[in-house]
């Protein structure tokens, strides 16, 4: 009879989970022994970076990814990064080691006494199989739960299980395949199409899920048939629509009152692939203008259930886009000219305005560049300068947890080595995932990190004003030199002194990782 380990490895191979992002401890080693050829272990030096890299990799490949973490301490380190993976619906399959079964109760060192409970608030499914023979089935469940729920899952395995005899039924799991279909039933689709076709002034709100589902171009087709304004959902983590398209009105502000104002005059708001809504700043008011109907289409049943207003249909928003685009006639506006980009603002003194940096990116990088952004005070500058027209062009930490950007950029670049990838990272944000630079260096990942050094937690200064607390301590971060930090991790780096030098550097195509630091002026996010 084959061992639990043999069946597990073979199952992962058949499901295509052969790239493992991890940081091991002694509990994990018995799982990692004898990995078949074709497996690739990507070592991260801290679990936050491990999960961030895996998140970027899974998002860019559109497939579940295996993550290998140490017991309580390692899994605990990963929790912050997991908040982002949960919000972006990333199917991470986390397998963690556990002490041998007889040592868990007495709390031997490295025993995680109630391992599933530690992770449960975040992951969609967590378990520790009741016996070794259930490990292959439970591993399969972890993969399918992550895929079906579009949420990380967590499996804790006592390390003596891996060498155990799998039992005669274990191979049955190897041929399993589980899929989901999310097309609305005829009557549901008909009612939705009627509501949309009958609206006088419909507005469309698109969430990051649209890009995740590969529906970026289809969303343009639908919007042009609807001929109404398009917003991106607040707290955006992926761009679902070309940001200079004439129908695009930008990312909705993440507050109740400004969202109500944006919808004024619309009889129907159709929200596709987003929660309703991920507000951030508490700006109270009525959710919707009087007389505005809101219909949400999402695959996420919980997002539908918890929304505070509106109607919801739990279905694949991509299938709904197709259904609606076919139901509406094609007489809407054809794609008119894209909106031109304004001249970048400049700053006084030697620092660059972030708009000058972003204009340089826009001009010097190819049009299909993927950007992973974690710079929080520069949001409005970003959207003023960028012209993103391709799917998969933009990633941002989905729950606002810093530490995704740098590792996420490494993961996206590993997933798409042919596509230029740029991380746009603030001098505060960089520190939460900085060890990913080492992984990028070891794997020679082609990636440019543009490090915006404004010497402060810029967004928090702005928030301080908003909250009426202008004197909070702990907001400045002087004395950081990321060229030296990057070089310490094995990534070549330079400091660009002005726009010309920055543009010249960006125009070169790197064949490995590099970091370019620029000093930037403080701006506000909006």
Ligand X SMILES: Cc1ncc(C[n+]2csc(CCOP(=O)(O)OP(=O)(O)O)c2C)c(N)n1
Helix H or strand E segment including 55: helix 47-61
Number of residues near ligand X (by CB under 6 A): 20
Report the relative pairing of strands 230-232 and 268-272 from DSSP bridges. unpaired
Residue 26 catalytic? yes
Q: Is 378 in the site for ligand X (CB under 6 A)?
A: yes
Cβ 83 to ligand X, closest distance in Å?
A: 8
- In the complex with ligand X, which residue's Cβ is closer, 380 or 456? 456
Residue 25 catalytic? yes
Of 427, 436, 440, 451, the residue at the interface with Mg ion (CB under 5 A) is 427
Q: Is 428 in the site for Mg ion (CB under 5 A)?
A: yes
What are residue 490's phi and psi, to 5 degrees? 95, 15
Q: How far apart are CA 133 and CA 168, in angstroms?
A: 9
**Integer Rg of the chain from CA:** 24
Q: Residue 345 carries which DSSP code?
A: P
- In the complex with ligand X, which residue's Cβ is closer, 79 or 197? 79
Positions 456 through 495 that interact with ligand X (CB under 6 A): 456-460
Q: Residue 151 carries which DSSP code?
A: S
Q: Which stretch binds ligand X (CB under 6 A): 111-119, 235-243, 247-255, 373-381?
A: 373-381
Residue 443 catalytic? no
Of 229, 273, 275, 401, the residue at the interface with ligand X (CB under 6 A) is 401
x-marked contacts with ligand X along 434-463 as a string, rule CB under 6 A: --------------------x-xxxxx---
Q: How far apart are CA 397 and CA 403, in angstroms?
A: 8
Give burial (CB, 10 Å; 0-12/13-18/19+) of 481. Answer: middle
Q: Is 99 in the site for ligand X (CB under 6 A)?
A: no
Placement of tokens 């041998």 in the chain = 100
3 state DSSP class of 496: strand
Which tokens is 455 given? 């010497």
Cβ 382 to Mg ion, closest distance in Å?
A: 14
Residue 282 catalytic? no
Q: Is 209 in the site for Mg ion (CB under 5 A)?
A: no
Of 426, 433, 446, 513, the residue at the interface with Mg ion (CB under 5 A) is 426
Q: Pick from ligand X, Mg ion, none: which does 35 bind, CB < 5 to 8 A by kind? A: none
Of 47, 128, 145, 374, which is the active-site residue? 47
N- to C-terminal Cα separation, the chain? 62
- In the complex with ligand X, which residue's Cβ is closer, 98 or 429? 429
- In the complex with ligand X, which residue's Cβ is closer, 61 or 524? 524
Q: Pick from ligand X, Mg ion, none: which does 296 bind, CB < 5 to 8 A by kind? A: none
x-marked contacts with Mg ion along 330-369 as a string, rule CB under 5 A: ----------------------------------------
CB 452 within 8 A of CB 496: no
CB 432 within 8 A of CB 42: no
Q: How far apart are CA 474 and CA 275, in angstroms?
A: 33
- In the complex with Mg ion, which residue's Cβ is closer, 207 or 426? 426
Q: Is 403 in the site for ligand X (CB under 6 A)?
A: yes
Residue 3 catalytic? no
Beta bridge partners, 42, equal 21
Cβ 444 to ligand X, closest distance in Å?
A: 26
What are residue 117's phi and psi, to 5 degrees? -65, -30
CA atoms within 13 A on the CB side of 31: 33
Q: How far apart are CA 243 and CA 231, in angstroms?
A: 9
Q: Is 80 in the site for ligand X (CB under 6 A)?
A: yes
Placement of tokens 């990942």 in the chain = 445
Supply the DSSP string of 378-437, one letter for each residue. Answer: -HHHHHHH----STT-EE--TT--TTSHHHHHHHHHHH-TTS-EEEEEETTGGGGSTTHH
DSSP H helices in 199-255: 208-212, 216-226
Residue least distant from ligand X (Cβ): 426
Cβ 281 to Mg ion, closest distance in Å?
A: 19
Q: How far apart are CA 20 and CA 207, in angstroms?
A: 29
Q: Is 427 in the site for ligand X (CB under 6 A)?
A: yes
Q: Which stretch binds Mg ion (CB under 5 A): 106-114, 125-133, 406-414, 454-462?
A: 454-462
- CA–chain centroid gap for 171, Å, is 34
- In the complex with ligand X, which residue's Cβ is closer, 332 or 464? 464
Which tokens is 494 given? 């330079």
Q: Which stretch binds Mg ion (CB under 5 A): 170-178, 191-199, 354-362, 448-456?
A: 448-456
Q: How far apart are CA 367 and CA 361, in angstroms?
A: 10
Of 22, 89, 400, 403, which is the active-site residue? 400
- In the complex with ligand X, which residue's Cβ is closer, 56 or 242? 56
Cβ 414 to ligand X, closest distance in Å?
A: 23
Q: Is 79 in the site for ligand X (CB under 6 A)?
A: no
Placement of tokens 């005669």 in the chain = 168
Number of residues near Mg ion (by CB under 5 A): 5
Of 22, 344, 428, 513, the residue at the interface with ligand X (CB under 6 A) is 428
Cβ 142 to ligand X, closest distance in Å?
A: 26
The residues that touch Mg ion, with contacts defined as CB under 5 A, are 426-428, 454, 458
Binding residues for ligand X (CB under 6 A): 80, 375-378, 400-403, 426-429, 432, 454, 456-460
Active-site residue set:
25-26, 28, 47, 70, 280, 400
């Amino acid at each position: 009879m084959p061992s639990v380990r043999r069946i597990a490895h073979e199952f992962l191979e058949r499901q295509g989970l052969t790239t493992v992002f991890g940081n091991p401890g002694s509990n994990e080693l018995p799982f990692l022994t004898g990995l078949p050829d074709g497996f690739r272990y990507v070592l991260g030096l801290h679990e936050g970076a491990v999960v961030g890299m895996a998140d970027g990799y899974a998002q860019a490949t559109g497939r579940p990814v295996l993550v290998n973490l140490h017991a309580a301490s390692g899994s605990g380190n990963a929790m912050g990064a997991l908040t982002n993976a949960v919000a972006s619906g990333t199917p991470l399959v986390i397998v963690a080691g556990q002490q041998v079964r007889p040592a868990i109760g007495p709390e031997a060192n490295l025993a995680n006494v109630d391992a599933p409970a530690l992770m449960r608030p975040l992951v969609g499914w967590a378990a520790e199989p009741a016996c070794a023979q259930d490990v292959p089935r439970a591993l399969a469940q972890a993969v399918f739960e992550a895929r079906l729920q579009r949420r990380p899952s967590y499996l804790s395995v006592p390390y003596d299980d891996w060498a155990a005899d799998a039992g005669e039924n274990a191979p049955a799991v190897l041929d399993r395949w589980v899929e989901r279909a999310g097309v609305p039933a005829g009557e549901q689709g008909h009612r939705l199409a009627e509501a949309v076709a009958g609206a006088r002034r419909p507005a469309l709100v698109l969430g990051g899920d649209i890009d995740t589902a590969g529906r970026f171009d289809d969303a343009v087709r639908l919007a042009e048939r609807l001929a109404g304004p398009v917003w991106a959902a607040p707290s955006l983590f992926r761009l679902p629509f070309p940001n200079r398209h004439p129908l695009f009105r930008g990312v909705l502000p993440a507050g109740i009152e400004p969202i109500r104002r944006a919808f004024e005059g619309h009889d129907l708001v159709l929200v596709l692939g987003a929660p309703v809504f991920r507000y951030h700043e508490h700006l109270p008011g009525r959710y919707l203008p009087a007389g505005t109907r809101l219909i949400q289409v999402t695959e996420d049943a919980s997002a539908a259930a918890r929304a505070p207003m509106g109607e919801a249909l739990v279905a694949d928003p991509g299938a709904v886009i197709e259904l609606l685009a076919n139901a509406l006639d094609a007489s809407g506006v054809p794609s008119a000219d894209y909106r031109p980009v304004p001249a970048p603002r400049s700053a006084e003194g030697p620092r660059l305005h972030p708009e000058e940096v972003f204009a340089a990116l826009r001009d010097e990088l190819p049009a299909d560049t993927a950007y992973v952004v974690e710079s929080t005070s520069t949001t409005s500058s970003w959207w003023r300068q960028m012209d993103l027209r391709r799917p998969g062009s933009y990633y941002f930490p989905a729950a606002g947890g810093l530490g995704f950007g740098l590792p996420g950029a490494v993961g996206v670049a590993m997933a798409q080595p042919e596509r230029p990838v740029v991380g746009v990272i603030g001098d505060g944000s960089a520190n939460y995932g900085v060890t990913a630079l080492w992984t990028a260096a070891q794997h020679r990942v082609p990636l440019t990190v543009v490090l915006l050094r404004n010497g402060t937690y810029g967004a928090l200064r702005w928030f301080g004003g908003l909250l009426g607390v202008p004197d909070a301590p702990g907001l400045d971060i002087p004395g950081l030199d990321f060229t030296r930090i990057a070089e310490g991790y094995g990534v070549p780096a330079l400091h660009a002194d002005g726009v010309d030098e920055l543009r010249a550097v960006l125009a070169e195509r790197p064949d490995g990782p590099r970091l370019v630091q620029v000093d930037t002026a403080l701006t506000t996010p909006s």
